[in-house]
Amino acid sequence: MTIACEILGEPGRDNALLVTVDSGQSQHRLLFDCGEGCLAKIPVSQVQAVEAVFFSHFHIDHVAGFDTFLRMNRARPDAPVRIFGPPGAIKIVHHRLRGYTWNLVAGVPGQWIVTEVVAGKLRSSRFLTAEGFEVEYLLCSFTSPIATMYRRGGSSLRKSASVSLEQLSRRNGELNERLTMTSRPGQPPTRTHR
């Protein structure tokens, strides 16, 4: 399995981290934060292939590029758009989705699943493009010391109650190098710098 990390955005400005997990049989793209202009140099097809967005917090420098992501993925037909964030994420993302006039969405595919992470508790809601993201459908709310936050094709990202989402997504400026992590079964991961 290979995990490649690409820092998006210019130094000292809004940024994001695009992580590509290659299991050898499939690739999964995860986006950590979404600063303004960060998606500009990424091909639309790669932005549309992002399976989940993880927000460390909702300061403007971490979310200003979300509208671009929304525009490119609002009507994703094959799989839901998944968003993970800290407490309040469902309310904040719902307001963001509702911040536009959605008068031409009848019959348009697309669903967005937003999960907020609070010390050992996950709460998820779903919003549908065809409804203009108007109605919140509560999917689940449970407490667990260790919970699987994201699972796709045999790969999963787990959250322990002692690990915050902010620890998973570094703050602006802390990421100063690109790295690739490789791991072989039974051996610890190694890092190779690019």
- pLDDT for residue 20 is more than 60: yes
Active-site pick, 14, 22, 33, 61: 61
Residue 73: DSSP 8-state:
H
- Helix, coil or strand: residue 189: coil
> Could you give the percent of the chain with pLDDT greater than 70?
73
Greater model confidence, 102 or 160: 102
Neighbours of 18 (CB within 10 A): 20
Domain boundaries, the chain: 2-193
The predicted model gives 31-59 an average pLDDT of 95
**Which pLDDT score is estimated for 14?**
93
Q: What is the pLDDT of residues 3-15, one digit of tens each?
A: 999 999 988 899 9
pLDDT at 163: 38
HEC profile for 123-175?
A: EEEEEEHHHCCCCCEEEEEEECCEEEEEEECCEEEEEECCCCHHHHCCCCCCC
How far apart CA 170 and CA 178 sit, in angstroms, is 13
Q: Is the confidence at residue 194, as pLDDT, over 70?
A: no
pLDDT at site 157 = 56
Is 14 one of the annotated active-site residues of the chain?
Answer: no
Angle 24-40-72 (CA atoms, 0-180°, nearest 5)?
75
Residue 97 has pLDDT above 70, yes or no: yes
